Amino acid sequence: GEDVEQSLFLSVREGDSSVINCTYTDSSSTYLYWYKQEPGAGLQLLTYIFSNMDMKQDQRLTVLLNKKDKHLSLRIADTQTGDSAIYFCAERGSSASKIIFGSGTRLSIRP
Amino acid sequence: DAGVIQSPRHEVTEMGQEVTLRCKPISGHNSLFWYRQTMMRGLELLIYFNNNVPIDDSGMPEDRFSAKMPNASFSTLKIQPSEPRDSAVYFCASSLPTGYNTEAFFGQGTRLTVV
């Protein structure tokens, strides 16, 4: 079945770039998402990419997609303390199918 | 729109009791998802509906769990009888129909504690 995997933890120094990686198994994935969860809150969409794209940039966020290796990454430039959260990678095969999430990567920021 | 609304926000119940979690999706959304989040297992998809019809319930842990969507604006997730291992945060999410960017919009979650 479909599976999405992420590393559980990432620690970076404030001001550095953070890179969160994700792999997925469903080769028919059409939509790939990055969500952010702050403590005690629900998940909020950060950005998304369609499977026919290689890269998407949105201010400090850069998403890279390697469809051949089924690898997705999220780069956060100039990481700030407010970026501390859990980041989830998710994939959806089609607009009517289920959305599968990874286990989430907890990003912590060192001063 | 107020977003996806879940109730209650917190629920504490005794083992063996019935628990009902409620969700109101965003108006116009036709897909609805129930997820469970725990430290050990991360975010698990329990069940999802399209146009009020359950499409995939393979993530429902066991027969003690049931979900319904009687109309486009309301869904329930019921646990009967509840057990301590059901303690988790339960999220409801909804998404737009075919043809749009179909991201899921999440509610604030219901934190369930079974003692």
> Do B18 and B82 contact (CB within 8 A), yes or no?
yes
Average pLDDT over residues A22-43: 90
Average pLDDT over residues B35-40: 93
The runs of H, that is alpha helices, within chain A are none
Other beta carbons within 10 Å of A32? 24
Tell if the CB–CB gap between B101 and A43 is shorter than 8 Å: no
Distance from CA of B43 to the nearest CA of A (A): 6
Q: For A42, which of B41, B91, B100 is closest by C-beta distance?
A: B91
Tell if the CB–CB gap between B101 and A48 is shorter than 8 Å: yes
Q: Give the confidence band of B1 by pLDDT, cuts at 50, 70, 90.
A: low
Q: Which two tokens stand for residue A35?
A: 């969500």
Q: Give the confidence band of A75 by pLDDT, cuts at 50, 70, 90.
A: very high
Average pLDDT over residues B15-36: 96
DSSP 3-state percent helix, strand, coil across chain B (nearest 5): 5, 55, 45
- What's the Rg (C-alpha) of chain B? 13
Q: What is the pLDDT of residue A15?
A: 97
Tell if the CB–CB gap between A92 and B102 is shorter than 8 Å: yes
User: Would the pLDDT of A96 be above 80?
Assistant: no
Assess B115–A contact: CB distance below 8 Å, yes or no: no
> Do A95 and B97 contact (CB within 8 A), yes or no?
yes
Q: Among A43, A50, A52, which would you mutate to test the B interface (most chain B Cβ atoms within 10 Å of its Cβ)? A: A43
Window 12-31 of B, Cβ < 8 Å to A: 31
Tens digits of residue pLDDT in B66-115? 999 999 999 999 999 999 999 999 999 999 865 656 789 999 999 999 99
Q: What is the pLDDT of residue B74?
A: 97
3-class SS of residue A89: strand
Q: What is the pLDDT of residue B83?
A: 97
Q: What is the pLDDT of residue B81?
A: 96
Which residues of chain A make contact with B49, given a CB cutoff of 8 A? none
Between A92 and A86, name the one with better pLDDT.
A86
Report how far residue B7's alpha carbon sits from residue B21's, in angstroms, rounded to the nearest whole number. 6
Tens digits of residue pLDDT in B54-70? 999 999 988 999 999 99
Average pLDDT over residues A13-38: 93
Which residues of chain B make contact with A100, given a CB cutoff of 8 A? 45
Tell if the CB–CB gap between A45 and B109 is shorter than 8 Å: no
> Do A91 and A2 contact (CB within 8 A), yes or no?
yes
Q: What is the pLDDT of residue A27?
A: 80
Q: What is the mean pLDDT of chain A?
A: 92
Q: Which two tokens stand for residue B52?
A: 């009020």
Assess B72–A contact: CB distance below 8 Å, yes or no: no
Q: Among A63, A88, A98, which would you mutate to test the B interface (most chain B Cβ atoms within 10 Å of its Cβ)? A: A98
> pLDDT > 90: what percent of chain A?
76
Q: Which of A39-43, A76-80, B88-92 has the lowest mean pLDDT?
A: A39-43
Q: Which two tokens stand for residue A92?
A: 């959806």
Q: What is the pLDDT of residue A29?
A: 81
Q: What is the pLDDT of residue B2?
A: 81
